[in-house]
Protein backbone atom coordinates (compact mmCIF):
# COMPACT_ATOMS: atom_id res chain seq x y z
CA UNK A 1 0.00 0.00 0.00
CA UNK A 2 1.31 3.47 -0.90
CA UNK A 3 2.42 5.56 2.06
CA UNK A 4 -0.14 8.15 0.98
CA UNK A 5 -2.92 5.58 1.25
CA UNK A 6 -2.03 4.82 4.87
CA UNK A 7 -1.43 8.46 5.75
CA UNK A 8 -4.81 9.37 4.27
CA UNK A 9 -6.60 6.66 6.22
CA UNK A 10 -4.88 7.75 9.42
CA UNK A 11 -5.66 11.46 9.09
CA UNK A 12 -9.27 10.86 8.03
CA UNK A 13 -9.81 8.57 11.01
CA UNK A 14 -8.13 10.98 13.44
CA UNK A 15 -9.92 14.09 12.16
CA UNK A 16 -13.19 12.27 11.35
CA UNK A 17 -13.18 13.67 7.84
CA UNK A 18 -11.80 16.91 6.39
CA UNK A 19 -14.75 19.28 6.35
CA UNK A 20 -16.50 21.15 9.17
CA UNK A 21 -18.89 24.06 9.72
CA UNK A 22 -17.55 27.16 11.41
CA UNK A 23 -19.60 30.09 12.66
CA UNK A 24 -18.82 33.54 11.27
CA UNK A 25 -20.39 35.36 14.21
CA UNK A 26 -19.77 35.17 17.98
CA UNK A 27 -22.11 33.41 20.41
CA UNK A 28 -20.71 34.60 23.72
CA UNK A 29 -23.73 36.20 25.35
CA UNK A 30 -27.50 36.74 25.04
CA UNK A 31 -27.08 39.73 22.73
CA UNK A 32 -25.06 37.56 20.34
CA UNK A 33 -27.73 34.86 20.47
CA UNK A 34 -30.55 37.38 19.91
CA UNK A 35 -28.74 38.85 16.89
CA UNK A 36 -27.67 35.61 15.25
CA UNK A 37 -30.91 33.79 15.97
CA UNK A 38 -34.23 34.73 17.55
CA UNK A 39 -35.54 37.42 17.57
CA UNK A 40 -33.09 39.32 15.31
CA UNK A 41 -32.98 36.79 12.49
CA UNK A 42 -36.67 37.40 11.79
CA UNK A 43 -35.75 40.76 10.29
CA UNK A 44 -33.39 39.03 7.88
CA UNK A 45 -36.02 36.47 6.89
CA UNK A 46 -38.62 39.18 6.31
CA UNK A 47 -36.17 41.15 4.20
CA UNK A 48 -35.46 38.13 2.00
CA UNK A 49 -39.17 37.31 1.77
CA UNK A 50 -39.76 40.72 0.19
CA UNK A 51 -36.54 40.66 -1.87
CA UNK A 52 -35.45 37.13 -2.69
CA UNK A 53 -32.25 38.35 -4.39
CA UNK A 54 -30.99 39.69 -1.07
CA UNK A 55 -30.38 36.08 -0.01
CA UNK A 56 -27.12 36.40 -1.98
CA UNK A 57 -25.81 39.04 0.40
CA UNK A 58 -27.59 38.16 3.64
CA UNK A 59 -26.94 34.39 3.72
CA UNK A 60 -24.39 31.78 2.69
CA UNK A 61 -25.99 31.51 -0.76
CA UNK A 62 -23.79 34.02 -2.57
CA UNK A 63 -20.57 32.22 -1.70
CA UNK A 64 -21.60 28.57 -1.61
CA UNK A 65 -21.46 25.65 -4.00
CA UNK A 66 -23.06 22.25 -3.49
CA UNK A 67 -20.75 19.41 -4.47
CA UNK A 68 -23.18 16.74 -5.62
CA UNK A 69 -22.42 13.08 -6.32
CA UNK A 70 -24.23 9.77 -6.44
CA UNK A 71 -20.96 7.86 -6.14
CA UNK A 72 -21.40 6.09 -9.46
CA UNK A 73 -17.99 6.99 -10.97
CA UNK A 74 -15.60 7.92 -8.16
CA UNK A 75 -12.03 8.64 -9.27
CA UNK A 76 -10.83 5.43 -10.93
CA UNK A 77 -12.70 3.30 -8.40
CA UNK A 78 -16.01 3.03 -10.25
CA UNK A 79 -19.51 2.75 -8.81
CA UNK A 80 -18.75 2.57 -5.09
CA UNK A 81 -21.80 4.41 -3.75
CA UNK A 82 -22.57 7.74 -2.08
CA UNK A 83 -21.01 7.00 1.30
CA UNK A 84 -17.71 6.04 -0.32
CA UNK A 85 -17.87 9.19 -2.46
CA UNK A 86 -18.15 11.45 0.60
CA UNK A 87 -14.40 11.74 1.39
CA UNK A 88 -13.78 12.82 -2.20
CA UNK A 89 -16.52 15.46 -2.00
CA UNK A 90 -15.05 16.65 1.31
CA UNK A 91 -11.71 16.98 -0.45
CA UNK A 92 -13.35 19.03 -3.18
CA UNK A 93 -14.88 21.29 -0.55
CA UNK A 94 -11.56 22.11 1.10
CA UNK A 95 -10.02 22.84 -2.32
CA UNK A 96 -12.83 25.31 -3.03
CA UNK A 97 -12.10 27.02 0.28
CA UNK A 98 -8.33 26.98 0.02
CA UNK A 99 -8.02 28.28 -3.53
CA UNK A 100 -11.10 30.48 -4.02
CA UNK A 101 -12.55 31.10 -0.53
CA UNK A 102 -15.80 29.44 -1.61
CA UNK A 103 -17.84 27.44 0.89
CA UNK A 104 -18.22 24.06 -0.78
CA UNK A 105 -20.81 21.76 0.77
CA UNK A 106 -20.49 18.00 0.16
CA UNK A 107 -23.83 16.47 -0.78
CA UNK A 108 -23.90 12.77 -1.66
CA UNK A 109 -27.27 11.38 -2.63
CA UNK A 110 -28.68 7.87 -2.71
CA UNK A 111 -30.36 8.05 -6.10
CA UNK A 112 -29.85 6.11 -9.30
CA UNK A 113 -32.07 7.58 -11.99
CA UNK A 114 -31.46 10.82 -13.86
CA UNK A 115 -34.82 12.24 -12.79
CA UNK A 116 -34.21 11.45 -9.10
CA UNK A 117 -30.89 13.28 -9.13
CA UNK A 118 -32.28 16.23 -11.10
CA UNK A 119 -35.25 16.57 -8.74
CA UNK A 120 -33.00 16.41 -5.68
CA UNK A 121 -30.66 19.10 -6.98
CA UNK A 122 -33.54 21.37 -7.97
CA UNK A 123 -35.05 20.91 -4.51
CA UNK A 124 -31.90 22.02 -2.67
CA UNK A 125 -30.82 24.67 -5.20
CA UNK A 126 -32.30 27.65 -3.27
CA UNK A 127 -29.59 27.12 -0.64
CA UNK A 128 -26.65 27.51 -3.00
CA UNK A 129 -25.06 29.92 -5.45
CA UNK A 130 -23.82 27.09 -7.70
CA UNK A 131 -23.82 23.33 -8.22
CA UNK A 132 -20.68 21.27 -8.89
CA UNK A 133 -21.62 17.83 -10.21
CA UNK A 134 -18.95 15.26 -9.42
CA UNK A 135 -18.19 11.59 -10.01
CA UNK A 136 -21.45 10.77 -11.77
CA UNK A 137 -21.17 8.06 -14.42
CA UNK A 138 -21.59 8.62 -18.15
CA UNK A 139 -23.89 8.79 -19.98
CA UNK A 140 -26.34 9.93 -17.30
CA UNK A 141 -24.02 12.76 -16.24
CA UNK A 142 -24.63 14.47 -19.61
CA UNK A 143 -28.40 14.36 -19.26
CA UNK A 144 -28.35 15.47 -15.62
CA UNK A 145 -26.20 18.50 -16.36
CA UNK A 146 -28.31 19.48 -19.35
CA UNK A 147 -31.57 19.24 -17.40
CA UNK A 148 -30.19 21.54 -14.70
CA UNK A 149 -29.11 24.41 -16.95
CA UNK A 150 -32.34 26.35 -16.37
CA UNK A 151 -32.34 26.56 -12.56
CA UNK A 152 -30.89 30.07 -12.45
CA UNK A 153 -27.51 29.25 -10.91
CA UNK A 154 -24.33 27.83 -12.48
CA UNK A 155 -24.26 24.05 -12.84
CA UNK A 156 -20.94 22.52 -13.87
CA UNK A 157 -19.90 18.87 -14.16
CA UNK A 158 -16.24 19.09 -13.29
CA UNK A 159 -15.27 15.63 -14.51
CA UNK A 160 -16.28 16.78 -17.98
CA UNK A 161 -15.47 20.44 -18.26
CA UNK A 162 -12.80 20.96 -15.61
CA UNK A 163 -10.71 18.22 -17.17
CA UNK A 164 -11.29 19.56 -20.69
CA UNK A 165 -10.39 23.13 -19.73
CA UNK A 166 -7.10 22.18 -18.07
CA UNK A 167 -6.31 19.85 -20.96
CA UNK A 168 -6.89 22.64 -23.50
CA UNK A 169 -4.62 24.99 -21.54
CA UNK A 170 -1.89 22.34 -21.53
CA UNK A 171 -2.31 21.78 -25.26
CA UNK A 172 -2.18 25.50 -26.06
CA UNK A 173 1.13 25.80 -24.25
CA UNK A 174 2.50 22.50 -25.55
CA UNK A 175 1.95 23.81 -29.08
CA UNK A 176 3.86 26.97 -28.21
CA UNK A 177 6.77 24.89 -26.90
CA UNK A 178 6.88 22.54 -29.89
CA UNK A 179 5.95 25.01 -32.61
CA UNK A 180 2.95 22.93 -33.65
CA UNK A 181 -0.15 24.57 -35.12
CA UNK A 182 -3.13 23.66 -32.94
CA UNK A 183 -5.50 23.84 -35.92
CA UNK A 184 -3.59 21.10 -37.76
CA UNK A 185 -3.39 18.64 -34.87
CA UNK A 186 -4.62 15.08 -35.19
CA UNK A 187 -5.65 13.98 -31.73
CA UNK A 188 -6.40 10.55 -30.26
CA UNK A 189 -8.49 10.38 -27.10
CA UNK A 190 -8.63 7.03 -25.34
CA UNK A 191 -11.71 6.93 -23.14
CA UNK A 192 -15.23 7.79 -24.29
CA UNK A 193 -16.72 8.68 -20.93
CA UNK A 194 -17.49 12.08 -19.42
CA UNK A 195 -13.97 13.52 -19.68
CA UNK A 196 -13.18 12.10 -23.11
CA UNK A 197 -16.43 13.38 -24.59
CA UNK A 198 -16.02 16.87 -23.13
CA UNK A 199 -12.41 17.07 -24.35
CA UNK A 200 -13.47 16.05 -27.86
CA UNK A 201 -16.21 18.68 -27.91
CA UNK A 202 -13.86 21.39 -26.70
CA UNK A 203 -11.03 20.52 -29.10
CA UNK A 204 -13.44 20.44 -32.04
CA UNK A 205 -15.19 23.63 -30.77
CA UNK A 206 -18.61 21.97 -30.73
CA UNK A 207 -21.05 24.47 -29.26
CA UNK A 208 -18.31 27.07 -28.86
CA UNK A 209 -17.98 30.47 -30.47
CA UNK A 210 -15.58 29.92 -33.40
CA UNK A 211 -14.16 33.42 -32.90
CA UNK A 212 -12.86 32.34 -29.49
CA UNK A 213 -12.07 28.69 -30.21
CA UNK A 214 -9.70 27.12 -32.74
CA UNK A 215 -10.76 23.56 -33.67
CA UNK A 216 -8.09 20.91 -34.14
CA UNK A 217 -8.09 19.16 -37.52
CA UNK A 218 -9.49 15.85 -36.29
CA UNK A 219 -10.13 13.83 -33.17
CA UNK A 220 -10.36 10.06 -32.97
CA UNK A 221 -12.05 8.79 -29.83
CA UNK A 222 -11.35 5.21 -28.79
CA UNK A 223 -13.08 3.00 -26.27
CA UNK A 224 -12.17 -0.52 -25.16
CA UNK A 225 -13.20 -1.87 -28.58
CA UNK A 226 -11.22 0.59 -30.67
CA UNK A 227 -11.95 3.66 -32.75
CA UNK A 228 -15.51 4.93 -32.54
CA UNK A 229 -16.61 4.92 -36.16
CA UNK A 230 -19.77 4.75 -38.23
CA UNK A 231 -19.01 1.08 -38.98
CA UNK A 232 -19.22 0.07 -35.33
CA UNK A 233 -22.26 -1.81 -34.04
CA UNK A 234 -24.01 -1.28 -30.71
CA UNK A 235 -22.81 2.27 -30.05
CA UNK A 236 -24.83 4.04 -27.36
CA UNK A 237 -26.46 7.39 -28.11
CA UNK A 238 -23.58 9.45 -26.70
CA UNK A 239 -21.02 7.64 -28.84
CA UNK A 240 -23.20 8.06 -31.91
CA UNK A 241 -23.32 11.80 -31.18
CA UNK A 242 -19.51 11.86 -31.09
CA UNK A 243 -19.44 10.88 -34.75
CA UNK A 244 -21.00 14.23 -35.71
CA UNK A 245 -17.69 15.99 -34.96
CA UNK A 246 -14.98 13.31 -34.59
CA UNK A 247 -13.38 10.79 -36.97
CA UNK A 248 -13.86 13.11 -39.95
CA UNK A 249 -12.02 10.72 -42.29
CA UNK A 250 -13.95 7.61 -41.22
CA UNK A 251 -11.10 5.54 -39.87
CA UNK A 252 -11.57 2.12 -38.31
CA UNK A 253 -9.40 -0.11 -36.17
CA UNK A 254 -7.91 -0.34 -32.70
CA UNK A 255 -6.02 2.17 -30.59
CA UNK A 256 -2.71 1.45 -32.33
CA UNK A 257 -4.34 2.10 -35.70
CA UNK A 258 -5.56 5.43 -34.34
CA UNK A 259 -2.07 6.39 -33.17
CA UNK A 260 -0.56 6.15 -36.66
CA UNK A 261 0.27 9.70 -37.80
CA UNK A 262 -1.34 11.28 -34.71
CA UNK A 263 0.15 14.37 -33.08
CA UNK A 264 -1.44 14.11 -29.65
CA UNK A 265 -2.47 11.25 -27.37
CA UNK A 266 -4.90 12.03 -24.54
CA UNK A 267 -5.57 9.26 -22.07
CA UNK A 268 -8.59 9.25 -19.76
CA UNK A 269 -8.81 5.50 -19.47
CA UNK A 270 -6.58 3.00 -17.69
CA UNK A 271 -2.93 2.57 -16.78
CA UNK A 272 -0.11 0.82 -18.63
CA UNK A 273 -1.94 0.90 -21.93
CA UNK A 274 0.89 2.06 -24.21
CA UNK A 275 4.57 1.26 -24.76
CA UNK A 276 7.39 3.26 -26.25
CA UNK A 277 6.95 1.39 -29.53
CA UNK A 278 3.34 2.63 -29.66
CA UNK A 279 4.50 6.22 -29.28
CA UNK A 280 6.83 5.72 -32.24
CA UNK A 281 3.76 5.16 -34.44
CA UNK A 282 2.86 8.82 -33.98
CA UNK A 283 4.09 11.87 -35.85
CA UNK A 284 7.41 13.42 -34.86
CA UNK A 285 7.57 15.06 -31.41
CA UNK A 286 4.14 13.91 -30.23
CA UNK A 287 2.38 15.40 -27.22
CA UNK A 288 1.35 12.81 -24.64
CA UNK A 289 -1.18 13.66 -21.93
CA UNK A 290 -1.71 10.37 -20.11
CA UNK A 291 -4.09 11.10 -17.27
CA UNK A 292 -5.17 7.73 -15.88
CA UNK A 293 -4.66 7.58 -12.11
CA UNK A 294 -2.79 6.37 -10.20
CA UNK A 295 -0.93 4.69 -13.09
CA UNK A 296 -0.87 6.67 -16.37
CA UNK A 297 -1.39 5.04 -19.74
CA UNK A 298 2.37 5.30 -20.21
CA UNK A 299 5.01 6.45 -17.75
CA UNK A 300 6.65 9.78 -18.64
CA UNK A 301 10.20 8.45 -18.87
CA UNK A 302 9.16 5.76 -21.36
CA UNK A 303 7.18 8.24 -23.47
CA UNK A 304 10.06 10.73 -23.53
CA UNK A 305 12.56 8.02 -24.43
CA UNK A 306 10.33 7.06 -27.36
CA UNK A 307 10.39 10.61 -28.74
CA UNK A 308 7.55 12.45 -27.01
CA UNK A 309 8.10 16.21 -26.90
CA UNK A 310 5.78 17.09 -24.00
CA UNK A 311 4.37 14.65 -21.46
CA UNK A 312 1.72 15.34 -18.84
CA UNK A 313 -0.10 13.08 -16.39
CA UNK A 314 -2.67 13.36 -13.64
CA UNK A 315 -0.05 12.83 -10.93
CA UNK A 316 1.53 15.43 -8.70
CA UNK A 317 4.90 13.66 -8.62
CA UNK A 318 5.52 14.24 -12.35
CA UNK A 319 5.80 17.51 -14.34
CA UNK A 320 2.76 18.94 -16.14
CA UNK A 321 0.07 17.67 -13.81
CA UNK A 322 -3.35 17.98 -15.47
CA UNK A 323 -5.24 18.72 -12.28
CA UNK A 324 -8.80 20.08 -12.17
CA UNK A 325 -7.94 22.22 -9.15
CA UNK A 326 -6.35 24.58 -11.69
CA UNK A 327 -9.82 25.27 -13.11
CA UNK A 328 -12.89 24.74 -10.96
CA UNK A 329 -12.13 27.09 -8.02
CA UNK A 330 -11.50 30.05 -10.32
CA UNK A 331 -14.40 29.20 -12.62
CA UNK A 332 -16.91 29.15 -9.76
CA UNK A 333 -15.32 32.21 -8.12
CA UNK A 334 -15.79 34.15 -11.35
CA UNK A 335 -19.32 32.85 -11.88
CA UNK A 336 -20.35 33.69 -8.30
CA UNK A 337 -18.78 37.14 -8.43
CA UNK A 338 -20.60 37.88 -11.68
CA UNK A 339 -23.75 36.31 -10.21
CA UNK A 340 -23.99 34.37 -13.45
CA UNK A 341 -26.98 32.17 -14.18
CA UNK A 342 -24.85 29.55 -15.91
CA UNK A 343 -21.32 28.68 -16.97
CA UNK A 344 -21.29 29.20 -20.71
CA UNK A 345 -19.03 27.71 -23.34
CA UNK A 346 -17.42 31.12 -23.70
CA UNK A 347 -16.64 31.20 -19.99
CA UNK A 348 -14.94 27.80 -20.31
CA UNK A 349 -12.79 28.97 -23.23
CA UNK A 350 -11.88 32.13 -21.29
CA UNK A 351 -10.84 29.96 -18.35
CA UNK A 352 -8.60 27.79 -20.54
CA UNK A 353 -6.80 30.78 -22.07
CA UNK A 354 -6.39 32.47 -18.68
CA UNK A 355 -4.96 29.25 -17.27
CA UNK A 356 -2.53 28.88 -20.16
CA UNK A 357 -1.48 32.49 -19.63
CA UNK A 358 -0.52 31.78 -16.02
CA UNK A 359 2.66 30.04 -17.23
CA UNK A 360 5.28 32.69 -17.86
CA UNK A 361 8.37 30.49 -18.33
CA UNK A 362 7.24 27.88 -20.81
CA UNK A 363 9.20 24.68 -21.30
CA UNK A 364 8.49 21.07 -22.17
CA UNK A 365 8.24 20.26 -18.47
CA UNK A 366 6.24 23.37 -17.61
CA UNK A 367 3.14 23.81 -19.78
CA UNK A 368 0.81 24.17 -16.78
CA UNK A 369 1.18 26.13 -13.54
CA UNK A 370 1.77 24.35 -10.27
CA UNK A 371 -1.56 23.15 -8.81
CA UNK A 372 -0.61 24.86 -5.54
CA UNK A 373 -0.12 28.25 -7.21
CA UNK A 374 -2.56 30.50 -5.35
CA UNK A 375 -2.59 33.12 -8.12
CA UNK A 376 -4.17 30.83 -10.71
CA UNK A 377 -7.71 30.88 -9.32
CA UNK A 378 -7.70 34.68 -9.20
CA UNK A 379 -6.64 35.05 -12.83
CA UNK A 380 -9.10 32.41 -14.02
CA UNK A 381 -11.92 33.97 -12.01
CA UNK A 382 -11.26 37.43 -13.47
CA UNK A 383 -11.43 36.05 -17.03
CA UNK A 384 -14.59 34.04 -16.31
CA UNK A 385 -16.32 36.97 -14.62
CA UNK A 386 -15.48 39.31 -17.48
CA UNK A 387 -16.78 36.85 -20.05
CA UNK A 388 -20.02 36.37 -18.10
CA UNK A 389 -20.53 40.14 -18.08
CA UNK A 390 -19.77 40.38 -21.81
CA UNK A 391 -22.30 37.63 -22.53
CA UNK A 392 -24.88 39.31 -20.27
CA UNK A 393 -25.32 36.20 -18.18
CA UNK A 394 -25.78 38.05 -14.89
CA UNK A 395 -28.94 37.62 -12.89
CA UNK A 396 -31.43 40.39 -13.65
CA UNK A 397 -31.78 41.23 -9.95
Nearest to 64 by CA among 17, 108, 125: 125
Is 218 strand, coil or helix? strand
Is 37 among the residues known to form the active site? yes
In degrees rounded to 5, what are phi and psi of residue 374?
Answer: -75, -10
What does the alpha-carbon distance between residue 322 and residue 316 come to, in Å, rounded to a whole number?
A: 9
What does the alpha-carbon distance between residue 205 and residue 201 come to, in Å, rounded to a whole number?
A: 6
Cβ-based neighbour number of residue 366 at 10 Å: 16
| DSSP label of 131 | E
Angle at CA of residue 11, ends 10 and 12, nearest 5°: 95
What does the alpha-carbon distance between residue 107 and residue 12 come to, in Å, rounded to a whole number?
A: 18
- Transcribe 25-71 into DSSP letters: S--SSHHHHHHHSTTTHHHHHHHHHH-GGGHHHHSGGGGEEEEEE-S
Q: Of residues 3, 61, 92, 260, which has the active-site annotation?
A: 92
Is 92 among the residues known to form the active site? yes
Q: Of residues 37, 52, 230, 280, which has the active-site annotation?
A: 37
Catalytic residue ranges: 37, 92
Amino acid sequence: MSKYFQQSLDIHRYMRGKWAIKSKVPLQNRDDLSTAYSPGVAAVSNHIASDKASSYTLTMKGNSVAIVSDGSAVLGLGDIGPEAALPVMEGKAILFKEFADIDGVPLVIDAESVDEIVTTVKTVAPTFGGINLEDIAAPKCFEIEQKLQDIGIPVFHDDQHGTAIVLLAALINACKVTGKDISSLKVVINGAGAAGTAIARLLRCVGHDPSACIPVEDVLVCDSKGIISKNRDNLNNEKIKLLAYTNRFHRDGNLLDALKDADVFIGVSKGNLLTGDDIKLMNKDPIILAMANPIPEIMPDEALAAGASVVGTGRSDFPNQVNNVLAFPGIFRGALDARATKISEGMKIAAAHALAGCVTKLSASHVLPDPLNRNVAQKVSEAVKQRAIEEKLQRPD
